[in-house]
Amino acid sequence: MVRAPHAKAFITAIAVLGLSEIFVGLLQWQTTDVERFACYLLIAITASILKVCVPGMSGSISVNFLFVLLGIVELSPTETLIIGCGATLIQCVWRPKVPVKAIQVLFNVTNVAISISLAAAVYRGSWLRWRDYNEPILLALVACVYFAANTFPVAAVISLTETKSFRNTWKACYTWTFPYYIIGAGVAEMLHVANQRAGWQISVFVLPIVYVIFRSYRMYMSRLENEKAHAEQAAALHLRTIEALSLAIDAKDHTTCEHLRRVQVYAVEVARHLELNDNELNALRAAALLHDIGKLAVPEHIISKPGKLTAEEFEKMKIHPLVGAEILEEVDFPYPVVPIVRAHHERWDGTGYPLGLKGEEIPIGARILSAVDCLDALASDRQYRRALPLDEAVAKVVSESGSGFDPRVVEILSLHYQEMEEIAQRTPLSKRRLTTRLRIVNGQAPSADAEAAAADGPTNQPEPMPFLDSIAAARQEVQALFELTQDIGNSLSLSETLSVVAARLKRIVPYDGIAIYVVKDARLAPEYVGGDDFRLFSSLSIPLGEGLSGWVAENNKPIINGNPSVEPAYLNDQAKFSVLRSALVVPLQGVSAVIGALALYRGDKDAFSKDNLRVLLALSSKVSLAIENALKYRQAESCATTDYLTGLPNARSLFLHLDAELSRSKRADNPLAVLVCDLDGFKQINDHYGHLEGNRLLQMVANSFREHCREYDYVARMGGDEFVLVIPGLSQEKLQDRIAQLENAVRVAGKGVCGEPLVSLSVGAALYPVDATDAEGLLSEADRKMYAAKQDHRRIHVVNRQEMKQARWMTTAVQ
């Protein structure tokens, strides 16, 4: 079906003109010898049946033109017209190579009618006869006219329908047949001379000549077809090699082959509208696939960066056209691919790179490719932005006409982009799929309690992955690993580090549940748990050497597709179990020892592959280092704000907390009590019982203070035997009761260490806002009152001692 409106108009014009010639010829019908006419017609039809198919085309050729030339010389124009049109009709409908449409038959017959009329007019033209040309020369000229009139319209229709160059189409399809027309003119002249001397019946003997010419045609065409097939196979192999390489490169860059397919289709269609020759078309077709090959020299993190490049990164990116050109120079293409690749980032106004070419200095293929590449980039999703609608993308390209892009190329794109998009949607590059995953075999069970992991069958046999997806997955894996290692190094917070690990890891190794265990006192404690069975795994405490994770941490070996139900077996409630059926556990090896285990869980049986294990093992060392650093940081942070002996907050932490509590009390207008406590007689404990017992006493006092305080009360050790309590909401009336509780707690603790009440407590209390309104004032007032209480305790102690001495003296005197 002819789609191009210009082609339809042209075919209609040829049909109308040809039918007019046939109609007029039939009205002027006359014959001087019916037998001769019938003989020539029969031989011409026989010659039409002996046709040869043209390689690469749906049409065919025959030697019936020989009798058209003979008819022009010996018969009337009408007889010649009937012979030519009849033979052409038979040639079209007799065993066609492909089904023939009526419009094609009509066009061929009417085109031959016009060609015969033109050739006959030339033969009988008085202006040639006046010049007294020899008959052979005249017949050769007629053959040339008939050849041109017959082939030009056919080439024009193909050119209009397929938007190809008329010159290239005519040259490729018909110029090689021209010598046969000249030879046919010579044969027609010899037959004409023989007919004049021996009668027209001699023409019957031309059938062997026709057959010889037919065989010659056929042998030539067969050889031509073989050579064409071989050339096409070589070209197809060449193109498939280019496609495979370019798709692999593009998969490393964009994770999809759609970019190359669309760019190639758009570029080739624009080139056809510009009527580029075959060499330029082939060069553009290859360059569209290979233009980004130079990105192999650009670091992956620059290519995949989800944002604007820095000036330094952009300088590195700018090398890829030159690198690509240098790579392709080694290929030695038969058409100019390298200049297109080198210049595909040049701009029409000369501000592009790498050479700063402008205008017509830029190869036409590069001008087409740069505009098309930009259009597809705007219309595709990228790491740093979402795709624009195609109409908006085209509008942006049009806005760059005359500055960034060739105005002719932009004009063609703006007029025909919808047609090109339809063609791109219908043009897949490759459907080939390669298997990139191997059969996975289970590992060995960690203990008798675990489900056997060394099964005979495969653990996981996923569907085959397309090779382009495999390459893209490898790029994504590298990028994900890079991002994960970068992110886990950005924080020393253990919870934040483990959250990042869990989130990033799920993109690389899918899981339904995750648990990260840390070694604490010869057991594995869950430091981070997420996903399914969250509560179950959060409550675990796994002894080293037992269960999946315990076995992994004890033996420093991974387990793949173990039974997760083994882990909850160490809960107090034996009725609890996990519904997850596969576990992948790897040890977390610190600098000197295993610090924990990383466990992933899935709901399917044998869900993890050895590829998953490989990725997890590659990550484990980095995760281990990050966790170990976070643990050390937590310990250092704890030491900075916690008293090492009692576990209570230290003086630094006290001041921070007191400021916060004062701010809260001021906002809520609530009272706040600050109690400064000091142990009386503590030096005697150290002197008589030793410092270890003194330390034990401090720990017991600290624990007693915690027990006598509410959850939101605050107990801190200032240093030595001095403690501070911050008690929000404590009124003046309840203050003495609280002090009495604390004093009693200290007496009990002292008696527990020494066996006798040697230790007492001095307490000074300051109330907000009665005694002071800031932290320093409250502490100062409480400290002053504490020393006053201590002095009172000393005076009472001295009086008691004097009374005891006096009582002892009086007892002695009485005795």
Do both 386 and 471 map to the same domain? no
In the predicted structure, residue 340 carries a pLDDT above the cut 90: yes
In the predicted structure, residue 428 carries a pLDDT above the cut 90: no
List, in order, residues 6 or more apart from 14 with CB less than 8 Å away.
107, 110, 111, 114, 153
Which pLDDT value is given to residue 773? 87
Burial (0-12, 13-18, 19+ Cβ within 10 Å), 172: middle
Q: How far apart are CA 372 and CA 382, in angstroms?
A: 16
Q: In what order do the strands lie in the sheet with 672-680?
A: 714-719, 722-728, 672-680, 760-768
Are 570 and 524 in contact, with CB atoms under 8 Å apart?
Answer: no
List, in order, residues 6 or more apart from 325 with CB less than 8 Å away.
294, 338, 339, 341, 342
Higher pLDDT, 706 or 757: 706
In the predicted structure, residue 446 carries a pLDDT above the cut 50: no
Do both 37 and 172 map to the same domain? yes
Do both 29 and 100 map to the same domain? yes
Q: How far apart are CA 175 and CA 186, in angstroms?
A: 18
Average pLDDT, integer, range 125-129: 57
Do both 349 and 485 map to the same domain? no
List, in order, residues 6 or more apart from 252 with CB less than 8 Å away.
295, 296, 300, 303, 471, 472, 474, 475
What CATH number corresponds to the domain at position 670?
A: 3.30.70.270
| Domain-located, residue 438 | no
For residue 237, how many other CB atoms are within 10 A of its CB? Answer: 10
Q: Domain boundary residue among 641, 676, 707? A: 641
Average pLDDT, integer, range 757-772: 88
| Domain-located, residue 444 | no
| Domain-located, residue 511 | yes
Do both 280 and 371 map to the same domain? yes
Confidence band for 246, pLDDT divided at 50, 70 and 90: low
For residue 448, how many other CB atoms are within 10 A of its CB? Answer: 7
Helices 467-488 and 494-508 cross at an angle (nearest 10°) of: 180
What CATH number corresponds to the domain at position 345?
A: 1.10.3210.10
| Domain-located, residue 222 | no
Higher pLDDT, 139 or 134: 139
Confidence band for 191, pLDDT divided at 50, 70 and 90: confident
Q: Name the 3-class secondary structure at 255.
A: coil
Domains: count for the chain: 4
In the predicted structure, residue 338 carries a pLDDT above the cut 70: yes
| Domain-located, residue 337 | yes
Confidence band for 622, pLDDT divided at 50, 70 and 90: confident
Q: Give the residue numbers spanning the domain of 313.
A: 256-425
| Domain-located, residue 212 | no
Higher pLDDT, 455 or 131: 131
Do both 655 and 630 map to the same domain? no
Confidence band for 432, pLDDT divided at 50, 70 and 90: very low
Average pLDDT, integer, range 4-15: 83
Q: Domain boundary residue among 203, 231, 264? A: 203
H helix or E strand, kind and range, residue 313: helix 311-317
| Domain-located, residue 216 | no
List the one residue out of 75, 72, 85, 76 whose CA is nearest residue 28: 76
Do both 44 and 158 map to the same domain? yes
Percent of the chain with pLDDT over 70: 78
Q: Which range (103-107, 342-346, 811-815) has the least confidence? A: 811-815
Which pLDDT value is given to residue 782? 92
Do both 119 and 66 map to the same domain? yes
Q: Which range (39-53, 55-69, 137-151, 362-376) has the least confidence? A: 55-69
Average pLDDT, integer, range 41-54: 74
Confidence band for 467, pLDDT divided at 50, 70 and 90: very low
Task: Give the pairing type, strands 60-61 and 52-53.
Answer: antiparallel
Q: Which two tokens stand for residue 62?
A: 């025959």
C-alpha distances in Å from residue 593, one per residue of 555, 623, 632: 11, 14, 14
Do both 343 and 491 map to the same domain? no
Q: Cis peptide leading into 769, omega within 30 of 0?
A: yes
| Domain-located, residue 277 | yes
Higher pLDDT, 524 or 797: 524
Amino acid at 782: A
Do both 680 and 624 map to the same domain? no
Q: What is the CA radius of gyration of the chain?
A: 49
**Taking CA 734 as the corner, what is the angle to CA 733 and CA 740, rounded to the nearest 5 degrees?**
125
| Partners of residue 396 on adjacent β-strands | none
pLDDT tens digits for range 639-652? 677 887 888 888 88
Q: How far apart are CA 726 and CA 705, in angstroms?
A: 12
Q: Domain boundary residue among 641, 670, 701? A: 641
Average pLDDT, the chain: 79
Do both 487 and 616 map to the same domain? yes
What CATH number corresponds to the domain at position 102?
A: 1.10.1760.20
pLDDT tens digits for range 192-236? 787 777 776 666 666 676 667 666 766 766 776 777 677 667 766
C-alpha distances in Å from residue 804, one per residue of 681, 752, 758: 19, 25, 16
Do both 489 and 394 map to the same domain? no
Q: Cis peptide leading into 354, omega within 30 of 0?
A: yes
